[in-house]
């Protein structure tokens, strides 16, 4: 690994932020400019992500602004996920946010309907870019205090996106979202500040290290007293865990992810919670491999096993498709967090490496599959004029063949079935749990996968296949427009592609997992 001075990380954060600023006035002046600028911003960051990923594969670490921003393999992985999913969501949002029945919800009670809709849409596109900027900032910042600031900024940027429809349900979701995440993240702030303050006296400044930089903090971590370090770790787990949807801090997640407009749901479930788990892995990683913190790693695995099981069970009870997907996200975050915990239980051994590799692999796979699923349910909402309950939808497979295929591919991928991508990441996680001799975690992980399979396939069956004849007779439902099918199809195709050729991600996942698991 070697540091390379680069302007790319700065551009990555500044471009979408600048887009956010110019989008609002321009989109208010001319409505088509909103989706166009949103697309341009997301395409620009995707283009910037390419050299970062290629560089990280070659062992480069990009740094800028006196190392305030730093992109190593782990950050590059997250940057690629965030940029890619945001591009898919931007492409999808352009037709989706024109849907009349949805816009009617927005301007329902307003006197000036056209003006209200226009203002609301301009806000939507501006905040989408702001949200993108804050997420990219969070995964590239190397400053422990700014990590808190950026994570909280992403909550602020997305709060009004959740409340977009401004009706009873979405306002309730937004209220819980803002309140719970702000309280939760206040704990993370304590963690960040305590870590910074307790590391400063021990940081070897004559070697050019600084106490505020995440990459320099491990040099001082060993000198922090154990009691204080445990408090800091607990603050990080509660703080970033709340944002990542780890149970029992998850109650905001199903509401927010279900009530937000579908492209926003894809971003929230696809990448925002991944950004939070990244923050958790990064900050916890500062203290490991010290054996003294072994119980904390075990605690993370216990919490994640609880999370996956709870999410899986709640998934079974849902009729609303978006809530079902949201609970499935809670459950899958459990798998990723389990991988992160296993890294330190088996630090320096195969178990740790497999945990890190499987966790990060599942992070990418879940981002792709869950975004595809939310886009597929969005397509159902689009085509049926707002229906999203499994019990009110019947036999859509003939009417919406592309959506049906995408839904099943992504659902089977999340359930961990071969030959899709989720199979490989879950297999890696099972192996990691077995190598660490945590058989209870191994059992819960497999059982939860079965629950997920049943819940998703059952919902898919009801919506797409049951009573096909009845539905055929009285339906004028058509599949969604091409601009919505393309991003959804691409995400589903990636699920298949990575499933067939899982080595494709190895060059990036390997250095990222090695960096976390301490194997060089």
Partner 1 sequence: MYNARLIETLSLVMIMTSVAAVESRNLKRAATAYCLQALLICGLILAFAVGNPTLYVWAAVALVTKGVITPWLLLHYIARTGEEEARSIIGFGPSVLLASALLIASYTVTHHYVHFLAPTAEAAQGVFRTNLAVSMTVFALGLYGILSRRDAIKTVIGLCLLENAVHLSLVSLAPQMRETALIGIATEVVITVAMLLLVVAGIREQIGTTDTYELSELHW
| Least Å from the CB of residue 233 to partner 1 | 12
Please list the alpha-helical segments (H only) found in 210-251.
218-221, 226-244
Q: Which stretch binds partner 1 (CB under 8 A): 180-188, 269-277, 360-368, 467-475?
A: 180-188
Q: Which of 122, 178, 276, 491 binds partner 1 (CB under 8 A)?
A: 178
Verify binding: residue 65, partner 1, rule CB under 8 A: no
Contact flag: residue 323 with partner 1 (CB under 8 A): yes
Choices 90-98, 155-163, 450-458, 486-494 (CB under 8 A): range interacting with partner 1: 155-163
**Region of 145-153, 288-296, 428-436, 494-502 interacting with partner 1 (CB under 8 A):** 145-153
DSSP three-state, residue 393 = coil
- Of the listed pieces 179-187, 343-351, 358-366, 441-449, which binds partner 1 according to CB under 8 A? 179-187
Question: Of 46, 129, 155, 449, which one interacts with partner 1 (CB under 8 A)?
Answer: 155
| Smaller CB separation from partner 1, 324 or 410 | 324
Q: Binding partner 1 by CB under 8 A: which of 169, 385, 443, 500?
A: 169
Longest dimension (CA), the chain: 78
Stretch that binds partner 1, among 182-190, 402-410, 468-476, 504-512 (CB under 8 A): 182-190
For 69, the 3-state DSSP assignment is: strand
Rounded Cα gap, residues 464 and 349, in angstroms: 45
Burial of 109 (0-12, 13-18, 19+ CB in 10 A): exposed
Question: Contacting partner 1 (CB under 8 A), which of 86, 128, 140, 198?
Answer: 198
Binding of residue 200 to partner 1 (CB under 8 A): yes
The encoded tokens of residue 235 equal 């603050």
Distances in Å between the Cα of 25 and the Cα atoms of 28, 30, 34, 119, 261 are 5, 9, 9, 9, 22
Q: Which is nearer to partner 1, 182 or 215 (CB)?
A: 182
Report yes or no: 130 and 41 within 8 Å, Cβ to Cβ. Answer: no
Residue with tokens 């079974």: 316
Tell me, letter by letter, the H, E, C secondary structure of 408-457: HHHHHHHHCCCCCHHHHHHHHHHHHHHHCCCHHHHHHHHHHHHHHHHHHH
Question: How is residue 320 written in tokens?
Answer: 């609303």
| Site stretch for partner 1 (CB under 8 A), options 93-101, 221-229, 398-406, 479-487 | 221-229
> Counting contacts by CB under 8 A, is residue 152 touching partner 1?
yes
By C-beta, is 163 or 516 nearer to partner 1?
A: 163
Stretch touching partner 1 by CB under 8 A, among 74-82, 99-107, 168-176, 478-486? 168-176
Do 426 and 335 touch, CB atoms closer than 8 A?
yes
Of 159, 285, 311, 334, the residue at the interface with partner 1 (CB under 8 A) is 159
Under rule CB under 8 A, residue 325 binds partner 1: no
- Helix, strand, coil % over all residues of the chain, rounded to 5: 80, 5, 20
Coil, helix or strand at residue 61: strand
**Residue among 262, 413, 402, 280 at smallest CA distance from 326:** 262
Nearer to partner 1, 228 or 500 (CB): 228
Burial 501-520 (b: 16+ CB within 10 A, else e): ebeebeebbbbbbbbbbbee
Q: Which of 7, 29, 54, 228 forms a contact with partner 1 (CB under 8 A)?
A: 228
Cα 286 to the chain's mean position, in Å?
22
Task: Tell whether residue 189 is a contact of partner 1 (CB under 8 A).
Answer: yes
Which of the residues 250 through 269 are near partner 1 (CB under 8 A)? 254-255, 258-259
Task: Name the site residues for partner 1 (rule: CB under 8 A).
Answer: 143, 145-146, 148-149, 152-153, 155-156, 159-160, 163, 166-169, 171-175, 178-179, 182-183, 186, 189-190, 193-194, 196-198, 200-201, 212, 225, 227-228, 231, 254-255, 258-259, 314, 317-318, 323
């Amino acid at each position: 690994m070697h540091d390379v001075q680069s302007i790319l990380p700065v551009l990555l954060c500044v471009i979408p932020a600048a887009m956010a600023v110019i989008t609002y006035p321009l989109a208010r002046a001319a409505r088509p400019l909103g989706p166009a600028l949103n697309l341009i911003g997301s395409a620009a960051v995707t283009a910037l992500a390419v050299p970062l990923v290629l560089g990280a594969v070659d062992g480069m670490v990009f740094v800028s602004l006196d190392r305030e921003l730093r992109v190593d393999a782990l950050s590059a992985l997250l940057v690629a996920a965030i940029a890619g999913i945001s591009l898919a969501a931007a492409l999808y949002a352009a037709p989706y946010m024109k849907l009349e029945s949805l816009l009617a919800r927005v301007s329902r009670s307003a006197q000036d309907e056209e003006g209200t809709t226009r203002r609301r849409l301009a806000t939507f596109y501006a905040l989408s870019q702001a949200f993108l900027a804050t997420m990219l900032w969070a995964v590239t910042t190397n400053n422990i205090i700014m990590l808190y600031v950026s994570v909280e900024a992403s909550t602020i940027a997305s709060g009004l996106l959740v409340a977009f429809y401004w009706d009873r349900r979405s306002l309730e979701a937004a209220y819980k979202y803002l309140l719970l995440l702000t309280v939760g993240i206040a704990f993370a702030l304590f963690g960040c500040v305590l870590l910074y303050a307790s590391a400063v006296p021990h940081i070897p400044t004559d070697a050019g290290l600084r106490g505020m930089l995440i990459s320099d903090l491990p040099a001082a971590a060993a000198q922090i007293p154990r009691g204080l370090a445990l408090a800091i770790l607990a603050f990080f787990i509660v703080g970033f865990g709340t944002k990542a949807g780890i149970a029992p801090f998850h109650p905001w997640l199903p509401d927010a992810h279900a009530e937000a407009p579908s492209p926003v749901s894809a971003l929230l479930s696809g990448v925002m919670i991944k950004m939070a788990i990244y923050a958790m892995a990064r900050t916890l990683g500062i203290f490991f491999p010290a054996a003294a913190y072994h119980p904390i790693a075990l605690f993370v695995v216990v919490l994640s096993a609880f999370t996956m099981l709870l999410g899986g069970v709640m998934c079974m009870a849902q009729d609303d498709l978006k809530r079902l997907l949201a609970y499935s996200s809670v459950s899958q975050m459990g798998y990723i967090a389990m991988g992160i915990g296993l890294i330190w239980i088996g630090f320096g051994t195969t178990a740790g490496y497999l945990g890190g590799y499987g966790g990060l692999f599942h992070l990418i796979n879940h981002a792709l599959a869950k975004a595809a699923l939310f886009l597929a349910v969005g397509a159902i909402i689009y085509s049926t004029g707002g229906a999203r309950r499994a019990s009110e939808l019947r036999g859509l497979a003939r009417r919406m063949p592309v959506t049906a295929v995408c839904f099943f591919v992504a659902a089977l991928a999340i359930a961990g079935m071969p030959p899709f991508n989720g199979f490989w990441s879950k297999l890696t996680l099972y192996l990691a749990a077995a190598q660490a001799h945590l058989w209870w975690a191994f059992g819960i992980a497999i059982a939860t996968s079965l629950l997920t399979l049943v819940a998703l396939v059952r919902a898919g069956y009801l919506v797409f296949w049951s009573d096909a004849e009845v539905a055929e007779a009285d339906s004028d439902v058509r599949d969604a427009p091409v601009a919505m099918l393309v991003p959804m199809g691409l995400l589903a195709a990636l699920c298949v592609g990575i499933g067939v050729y899982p080595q494709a991600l190895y060059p990036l996942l390997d250095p990222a997992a090695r960096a976390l698991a301490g194997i060089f």
